[in-house]
């Protein structure tokens, strides 16, 4: 499976000669015979500064003329199987030390062991077996430390243990550590330190406060906060025509409604017919409190009528915030244990929200801000609602990350805090789910942005 995954993602580091030959074969398998002077040049127009490389690819491509597509694919795989890193998981990392050829390297993890390769020439310069791996540790901050123990002969019959320690920085540190355990489960029994054991609750709590301050300083959050906004709207209720402010809903059977290209829906849902508001009633020009209190950051049963964040460049962010909040509450209130509800009933609405997040990064940030708020200081952490909120968080972490670095840092800080505060309770829902969400979040951030929202099967699996 690892070999198939690296082939499908074109993730195997290749030498220039191998890359040229494989590029020509892939062109033959994909396009077949075509005008090599026009179509081929168009396909690799991005390589304008590499004229010789283009010429070499075209030359190889012309040699494959007449070859059936299936045969070209077969030869493509045959060449890949001869590659030194075929079947290995490769991770780009920066060595936190000094090597003469530079600090950028590839870390290859396979069933045979662990290898370090130069980033430029893809040559492996260090090879270790799992038996030589004495200790490994990964941090949520991207820190990866690998310790190897090797025996060397000093004199006949005398052996000396040499310990080599290598420290790296990579956004996929947790993934590397998890893969090592998968290949060599014994590492979990030989004094392996848990990946999150070094998280201090006090430090994590202060980090969350720091990230909140940054969000306010950068103007990411809508001020006043939701609690003050709700009070404003209640005071204006007598002056507001309620019917004219209810957002329209597009029905999908008895359960659904659609984002409808930016217009959310909340009417007709028992317990969720919150007051909606126009942009003018919650703008910063209104006379309202400018502070953002603790109640604005933590769980509240009140339904949002606008977005938590503000982005002048993002169209209809306020309407999306209201719609996303409705979807979140509907999913949170579902009773999956009694089988009265099933995740498949909510898949269309979740896909609507995530598709919009993939299209506009600011909406992804809004979704995460709401999920973090609702999983902070929840009054019933053992209840079904709390578990459902974490399920929705895990679905989001596997699909999209915020384009705002400030929001992404806040999400990571929140997840680390949940892990740190639950270390002593192995049955804690927040701790177990936060570990999974943090690993998935970092993996999604390091991967290529997906084009489509999660499938129904993915949503069911995560639920």
Lowest mean pLDDT among 61-70, 231-240, 405-414: 231-240
How many angstroms separate the CA atoms of 248 and 264, rounded?
A: 7
**pLDDT for residue 247:** 39
Give tens-digit pLDDT for 331-350: 999 887 776 677 788 899 99
Q: What is the mean pLDDT of residues 355-362?
A: 92
Q: What is the mean pLDDT of residues 12-38?
A: 67
324 has a pLDDT exceeding 50: yes
**pLDDT for residue 198:** 55
Write the DSSP assignment of 67-94 as a string of letters: --HHHHHHHHHHHHHTSTTTT-EEEEEE
Give tens-digit pLDDT for 115-169: 998 887 778 889 998 888 888 888 777 888 888 886 554 445 554 456 788 889 9
pLDDT band at 53 (very low <50, low <70, confident <90, very high): low
Of 48-52, 240-244, 383-387, where does the model show the most confidence? 383-387
**pLDDT for residue 279:** 39
Q: What is the mean pLDDT of residues 411-418?
A: 91
Write the DSSP assignment of 325-391 as a string of letters: HHHHHHHHT--TTTTSS-GGGTHHHHHHHHHHHHH-HHHHHHHHHHHHHHTSS-S-TTSHHHHHHHH
For the entire predicted model, the pTM comes to: 0.55
């Amino acid at each position: 499976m690892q070999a198939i995954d690296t082939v499908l993602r074109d993730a195997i580091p290749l030498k220039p000669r191998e890359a040229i030959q494989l590029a020509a074969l892939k062109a033959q398998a994909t396009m077949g015979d075509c005008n090599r002077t026009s179509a081929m040049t168009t396909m690799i127009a991005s390589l304008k500064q590499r004229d010789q490389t283009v010429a070499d690819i075209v030359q190889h491509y012309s040699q494959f003329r007449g070859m059936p597509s299936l045969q070209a694919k077969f030869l493509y795989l045959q060449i890949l199987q001869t590659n030194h890193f075929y079947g290995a998981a490769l991770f780009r990392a920066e060595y936190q030390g000094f090597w003469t050829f530079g600090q950028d390297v590839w870390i290859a993890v396979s069933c045979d062991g662990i290898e370090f390769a130069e980033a430029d020439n893809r040559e492996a310069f260090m090879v270790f077996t799992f038996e030589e791996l004495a200790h490994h540790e990964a941090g949520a901050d991207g820190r990866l430390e690998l310790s190897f123990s090797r025996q060397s002969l000093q004199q006949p019959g005398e052996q000396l243990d040499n310990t080599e320690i290598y420290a790296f920085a990579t956004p996929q540190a947790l993934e590397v550590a998890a893969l090592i355990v998968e290949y060599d489960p014994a590492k979990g029994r030989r004094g392996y330190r848990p990946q999150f054991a070094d998280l201090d609750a006090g430090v994590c709590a202060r980090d969350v406060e720091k990230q909140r301050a940054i969000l306010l300083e950068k103007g990411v959050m809508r001020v006043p906060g939701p609690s003050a906004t709700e009070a404003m709207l209640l005071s204006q209720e007598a002056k507001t025509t309620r019917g004219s402010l209810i957002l329209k809903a597009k029905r999908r059977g008895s359960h659904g409604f659609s984002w409808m290209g930016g217009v959310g829906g909340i009417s007709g849902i028992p317990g969720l017919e919150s007051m909606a508001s126009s942009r003018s009633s919650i703008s910063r020009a209104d006379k309202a409190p400018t502070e953002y209190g603790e109640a604005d950051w933590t769980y509240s049963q009140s339904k949002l009528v606008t977005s938590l964040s503000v982005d002048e460049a993002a169209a209809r962010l306020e309407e999306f915030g209201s719609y996303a909040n409705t979807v979140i509450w509907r999913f949170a209130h579902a009773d999956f244990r009694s089988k009265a509800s099933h995740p498949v009933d909510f898949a269309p609405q979740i896909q609507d929200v995530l598709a919009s997040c993939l299209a506009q990064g600011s909406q992804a940030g809004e979704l995460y801000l709401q999920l973090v708020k609702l999983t902070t200081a929840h009054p019933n952490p053992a209840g079904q609602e709390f578990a459902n909120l974490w399920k929705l968080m895990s679905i989001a972490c596997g699909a999209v990350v915020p384009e705002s670095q400030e929001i992404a840092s806040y999400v990571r800080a929140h997840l680390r805090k949940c892990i740190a505060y639950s270390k002593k309770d192995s049955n804690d829902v927040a701790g177990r789910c936060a570990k999974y969400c943090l690993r998935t979040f970092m993996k999604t951030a390091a991967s290529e942005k997906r084009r489509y929202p999660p499938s129904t099967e993915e949503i069911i699996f995560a639920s």
